[in-house]
Amino acid sequence: MTVLDPVVLYLLTCGRRKVTLEQVTAGVELDRKAVLRVLDKLTGEGYLREIEDHKMAKGYADPGPYLQNPTWEIVRDLTDRPVKRPKRDTGRDRIWRAIKRLQRGFTRSDIVRLSGASRGSVEDYTKLLERDGHIKTVGLTGRQYRYNLVSDELKRPKVKEQADTRPGGETMGWLEILRQRAEVVGDSEVAREMGVSPAAISLLKAGKYPASTEKMEERVMSIYGRDGKVVCPILGEIEPGRCAELWNKAHKLGVKGSNPKMIRQHKACLKCDLRSFNKRPASKKTGRKI
Residue range 43-62, pLDDT digits in tens: 888 888 888 877 666 555 55
Q: Are residues 248 and 201 in the same domain?
A: no
The pLDDT value recorded for residue 69 is 81
Give the number of other Cβ atoms within 10 Å of residue 229's Cβ: 18
Q: Are residues 14 and 75 in the same domain?
A: yes
Q: Are residues 215 and 235 in the same domain?
A: no
Do the domain assignments include residue 86? no
Alpha-carbon distance values, 50 to 35, 69, 78, 152, 262 (Å) = 14, 11, 16, 46, 57
Q: Are residues 166 and 114 in the same domain?
A: no
pLDDT at residue 65 greater than cutoff 80: no
Q: What is the pTM of this model?
A: 0.38
Give CA–CA dist 220/288, Å, rounded: 28
Instruction: With beta carbons less than 8 A apart as the criterion, state whether 49 and 73 touch.
Output: yes
Choose one of 35, 55, 80: the last residue of a domain. 80
The pLDDT value recorded for residue 98 is 92
Here the contacts of 24-31 (C-beta below 8 Å, separation 24 or greater) are 28/3, 30/3, 30/6, 31/3
Choose one of 197, 227, 257: the last residue of a domain. 227
pLDDT at residue 283 greater than cutoff 50: no
Closest CA to 150 of 115, 103, 108: 103
Give the CB-side neighbour count of residue 269, counting CA atoms within 13 A. 21
Closest CA to 159 of 117, 120, 124, 110: 124
The pLDDT value recorded for residue 284 is 46
Choose one of 212, 227, 242: the last residue of a domain. 227
The pLDDT value recorded for residue 118 is 81
Give CA–CA dist 79/65, Å, rounded: 37
Do the domain assignments include residue 155? no
Do the domain assignments include residue 275? yes
Do the domain assignments include residue 154? no
Do the domain assignments include residue 156? no
Mean pLDDT of 28-35: 86
Give CA–CA dist 24/27, Å, rounded: 5
Give CA–CA dist 124/159, Å, rounded: 11
Q: What angle do CA 178, 180, 184 make, to 5 degrees?
A: 115
The pLDDT value recorded for residue 58 is 57
Give the number of other Cβ atoms within 10 Å of residue 40's Cβ: 14
CATH number, domain containing residue 144: 1.10.10.10
Mean pLDDT of 191-209: 85
Which segment of 53-67, 133-147, 188-202, 251-265 scores lowest on mean pLDDT? Answer: 53-67
Which segment of 108-122, 133-147, 173-187 scores lowest on mean pLDDT? Answer: 173-187
Q: Are residues 68 and 29 in the same domain?
A: yes
Supply the range of the domain harboring residue 32: 4-80
Mean pLDDT of 198-215: 82
pLDDT at residue 1 greater than cutoff 70: no
Which segment of 122-136, 160-174, 259-273 scores lowest on mean pLDDT? Answer: 160-174
Do the domain assignments include residue 236? yes
Do the domain assignments include residue 111? yes
Per-chain mean pLDDT for the chain = 78
Q: Are residues 198 and 237 in the same domain?
A: no
Q: Are residues 8 and 74 in the same domain?
A: yes
Q: Are residues 99 and 44 in the same domain?
A: no
Q: Are residues 11 and 65 in the same domain?
A: yes
Alpha-carbon distance values, 99 to 111, 126, 142 (Å) = 7, 9, 20
Q: Are residues 222 and 235 in the same domain?
A: no
Q: Give the total number of structural domains in the chain.
A: 4
pLDDT-based confidence at residue 276 (cuts at 50, 70, 90):
low
Residue range 208-263, pLDDT digits in tens: 787 777 788 888 887 876 667 777 877 877 888 888 888 887 777 776 666 777 77
Do the domain assignments include residue 184? yes
Q: What is the helix, strand, coil percentage profile of the chain, to 5? A: 45, 15, 40
Share of the chain above pLDDT 70, in %: 81
Give CA–CA dist 223/171, Å, rounded: 16
pLDDT-based confidence at residue 163 (cuts at 50, 70, 90):
very low
pLDDT at residue 73 greater than cutoff 70: yes
Q: Are residues 41 and 8 in the same domain?
A: yes
DSSP 80: G
Closest CA to 151 of 100, 106, 102: 100
